[in-house]
Amino acid sequence: MFKNTMDNKRYYTLNYFYKKTFGKKVFKVSLNGNFSCPNKVNGNSGCIFCSKLGSGDFAGDKKDDLVTQFENIKNMMLKKWPDALYIGYFQANTNTYAPLEELKEKYESILKLDNVIGLNIATRSDAISKECYDYLEELSKKTFLTVEIGLQSMHEETLKYIKRGHDLKNFEKCIKELKRRNIRVVVHIINGLPNETKEMMIATAKYLNSLNIDGIKIHMLHVIKNTELADIYEKEKFHILTKEEYIDIVISQLEYLNENIVINRITGDPDKDELIAPTWLLKKFCVLNDIDKEMVRRDTYQGIKTK
């Protein structure tokens, strides 16, 4: 059995990490802080895959204040895990893209709630000011802080194609600055971006080993209604990975990832009412189970090719 697991997974699961760190179940409460995005100003339309909710499709309702959002979602999850600890997850859009005082007010409104042991803050490498870095460092000494940074791909041609709005150098500088300040970092990548080969996707995973990141979220590209990607797909019908192709690529990425990198996510949760393709993503647990079965069949595990 892979050493960093308690349910026979062959990769380092987030559930295992939380249980080992806090001794009990921890769940994240997804919030919408009503932030914007630096890639959606000055005439920019944002990344071509981004939904109207800023990749926060399952976050709270921004019409509600943050505490109300938190309590509503927490109360639903408590039915399943009545004795859990909570992490406030600022998910939608770019959650450091605001004046410092606004960030402090929003973050700390959640931190003062009972049984909240930390924050996850999703943002971009080009949206953290010097003052924000300083504040995040201060915050990380008070609570269990994780900063999530979107990369999607290490390949410059892909970053330009998806209109990411920054280059690899900017991303790398951000990660190094966060790690210099001893802040936990999780990086998001996307498999199946147009024009990328399996080898390119594996290269992105291997690249992240060099940055000493703490965790990774692996997503499958999915086409959502009312996005630029949807328009491109309608015209070009570019190849969407099959479930079997995705599973093969993910397992190959896991084999090259350092064994101490926590796998925070290994597939996506698209909104079925907004999803155009691929429909196989809607069966999340089938995808997870098939990854497990194929890893057993191959007798492989996370980090095997880093030995």
Asked if residue 68 has pLDDT above 70, the reply is: yes
Instruction: Report, at the CATH architecture level, how domain 14-300 is classified.
Output: Alpha-Beta Barrel (3.20)
Note whether 178 and 230 are within 8 A (CB): no
Query: If pLDDT is split at 50, 70 and 90, which confidence band does 137 have?
Result: very high
Q: Domain extents for the chain?
A: 14-300
Give the mean pLDDT of 87-100.
95
Give the pLDDT confidence score for residue 12 in this predicted structure. 97
Give the pLDDT confidence score for residue 55 in this predicted structure. 58
List Cα–Cα distances, 102 to 99, 105, 107, 131, in angstroms: 5, 5, 9, 13
Give the pLDDT confidence score for residue 193 in this predicted structure. 97
Give the pLDDT confidence score for residue 39 in this predicted structure. 85
> Rounded distance, CA 298 to CA 89, Å?
35
Q: Is 151 helix (H, G, I), strand (E, B) or coil?
A: strand
Give the pLDDT confidence score for residue 58 in this predicted structure. 59
- In the beta sheet, which residues pair with residue 186? 148, 215
Query: If pLDDT is split at 50, 70 and 90, which confidence band does 1 have?
Result: low
* Average pLDDT, rounded, for the chain: 93
Asked if residue 60 has pLDDT above 80, the reply is: no
Give the pLDDT confidence score for residue 51 in this predicted structure. 74
> Rounded distance, CA 166 to CA 103, Å?
23
Least confident of 60-64, 86-90, 134-138, 300-304: 60-64
Note whether 257 and 216 are within 8 A (CB): yes
Note whether 189 and 263 are within 8 A (CB): no
Least confident of 6-10, 60-64, 147-151: 60-64
% the chain with pLDDT above 70:
96
- Angle of helix 284-298 relative to helix 243-256, nearest 10 degrees? 60
Give the pLDDT confidence score for residue 57 in this predicted structure. 57
Give the mean pLDDT of 34-49.
84
- In the beta sheet, which residues pair with residue 224? 275
Q: Is 127 helix (H, G, I), strand (E, B) or coil?
A: coil
Give the pLDDT confidence score for residue 59 in this predicted structure. 63
Give the mean pLDDT of 182-197.
97
pLDDT tens digit string along 212-268? Answer: 999 999 999 999 999 999 999 999 989 999 999 999 999 999 999 999 999 999 998
Q: Output 44 or 173, whichever has higher pLDDT.
A: 173
Give the pLDDT confidence score for residue 222 in this predicted structure. 94
Note whether 239 and 197 are within 8 A (CB): no
Least confident of 77-91, 174-188, 277-291: 77-91
Q: Output 57 or 73, whichever has higher pLDDT.
A: 73
- Quote the pTM value: 0.95
Give the pLDDT confidence score for residue 184 in this predicted structure. 98
